[in-house]
Structure 1
Amino acid sequence: MQSASATRFDEAYYQRFYFDKKTSVVDPAHTERLGAFVCSYLQYLRVPVLRVLDVGCGIGLWRDVVARHFPTAQFHGVEFSSYLCERFGWERGSVVDYRAHDPAEPFDLVICQGVLPYLNEADAKKALRNLARLSRGALYIEAVAREDWEDDVVDEQVTDPRMHKHPASLYRRTLAEGFTELGGGVWLSEHAEVPLFALEKAGRR
C-alpha cells in the first residue's frame, strides 16, 4: 500500500476532521493537557528546550502550548498540506525527508502527532529515522497503532479509517535505535546529556 498523497489533505479533509465540530478529531483541551504533560516532563528532566519543530503541525495547536511552557523557544511548523501552508504560513515539507535549514543545529524538541499512520511501513521507518536526525533532545510521537484498533481504544466514528495499522513494535523498534522511551509518547535522544533513573526508562528491566 502507498503512503497518503498530498491531494488527500485538502480543504475538505480539514473541514471533516478539524473544523466541523460534529466530526472533528481535534480537542483543544486535550492538546492543552497533553502539551502540559510533555513540556512539564521535559522541564522536570531539565531538558533544555530552545528550538522546537512540529512536523505535521496541522492548524498549529502546539504552538501556543509550547510558548506558554518555553516562552524563549523558537517554534517552527512544517506541514505536508499545501492548503494549510497557504492558510497558516507553515513551511511545506514531509516527515519522511524534511531537512532543517541548518543541519548543524538540530532541534531540542520534535513533535509529530497523528502523522505516521498515514505512511506505509517503509516510509514510516524512514520518517522515524528522520525525526531522530532532527532531534538532539526529545521527541514526542503520537501514532495510532494496530493494537489500538484491535483493543477498541480508537473511536472509529471520528478516526480516519484510511490509516495504516502498523503494530506498536514497528515504532518502538525503530525509535530504540537512538532514543530511550520515557513513556507517554516521550523519547529522549542518546545525544541528550540528561541522566535518567532506571525506572524512568519505560520497558527496561
Structure 2
Amino acid sequence: MESADADTFDEAYYQRYYFDRKTKVADPQHVQRLGAFVCAYLQYLRVPVRSVLDVGCGIGLWQGIVAQHFPQARYHGVELSDYLCARYGWARGSVVDYPATQRFDLVICQGVLPYLSPPDLKRALDNLGALSQGALYLEAVAREDYERDIIDEDLTDPRLFRHRAEVYRRGLSRHFVQMGGGLWLSRQAGVPVFALECAAE
C-alpha cells in the first residue's frame, strides 16, 4: 500500500471527520484539555516557544491554543490537502519531506503519520527531527491500540496503516527523548530533565 495522497484529503474527507457532528473525530473539549496539558508541560520544562510548526494542521485546531498559551509565538500551518490550503491559507507540504529552512521550538504532528507507508514513515520521523529544535507533540494510533480494542473503528478512517508503537519510538529516539503524554524533547534542546521525568533508554 502507498501513503495517502493529497486527493484523499478533499472536502468530503473533512466534512466526514471534522464538520459533521455525528461523525467528526475532534471533540473541542478534548482538544482544549490536550492543548492546555502540552503547553503547561512545555512551560514546566522551560522550553521556550517562539515558533510553532503544525504539520498536517488540518482545520487549524491548534492555532487558537498556541495563541492562548504562547501569544508571542509564530504559528505556521502546513497541509497536504489542496482543499484546506485554499480554504485556510496553509502552506502546502508533507511531513515526509517538508524542508527545514528553519527549526521550530514546537512541532505538532497529530493524526498524520498513520497515513504513511513504512518507507514514508521512516522519512517522516527523520524529518521531524530535522524540523524541531525544542519539542515535538506527536499523536498517532498504533497497532497495539487496535489490539487492545481502544479504537472506535466507526469514527476512525479505515485507510490508516497499523504501524507498531516500537516503529514510532525507534524512529523518534534518534532525535528525541520521550517525555510522556505524546511529548518528545529534542536532543538539541539543551533542557535538563530528571531521569524519572523521561522514558528509560
Q: Partner of 1:33 in structure 2? A: 33
- The TM-score, its normalising length taken from structure 1, stands at 0.96
Q: Which runs of 4+ in 1 moved over 4 A?
A: none
Q: Partner of 2:56 in structure 1? A: 56
Aligned equivalent of 1:116, options 92, 113, 116: 113
Aligned equivalent of 2:178, options 181, 188, 201: 181
Q: Partner of 1:82 in structure 2? A: 82
Q: Partner of 1:96 in structure 2? A: 96
Q: Partner of 1:69 in structure 2? A: 69
Q: Structure 1 CA distance, aligned partners of 2:190 and 2:73?
A: 19
Q: Structure 2 CA distance, aligned partners of 1:122 and 1:186?
A: 23
Q: Partner of 1:14 in structure 2? A: 14
Cα root mean square deviation, aligned: 0.8
Q: Partner of 1:45 in structure 2? A: 45
Secondary structure class of the residue paired with 1:161 = coil
1:186 shift after superposition? 0.4
Q: Structure 2 CA distance, aligned partners of 1:148 and 1:21?
A: 24
Q: Structure 2 CA distance, aligned partners of 1:36 and 1:124?
A: 28
Aligned equivalent of 2:145, options 124, 143, 148: 148
Q: Structure 2 CA distance, aligned partners of 1:198 and 1:14?
A: 41
**Equivalences, count:** 201
1:91 shift after superposition? 0.5
Q: Structure 1 CA distance, aligned partners of 2:130 and 2:197?
A: 23
Q: Structure 1 CA distance, aligned partners of 2:64 and 2:15?
A: 21
Q: Structure 1 CA distance, aligned partners of 2:37 and 2:93?
A: 27
Q: Partner of 1:159 in structure 2? A: 156
Deviation string, structure 1 residues 114-133 (Cα, Å, up to 9, x no partner):
00000001101101110110
Q: Partner of 1:138 in structure 2? A: 135
Q: Structure 2 CA distance, aligned partners of 1:95 and 1:152?
A: 28
Secondary structure class of the residue paired with 2:40 = helix
Q: Structure 2 CA distance, aligned partners of 1:91 and 1:68?
A: 22
How many percent of aligned residue pairs carry the same amino acid?
67
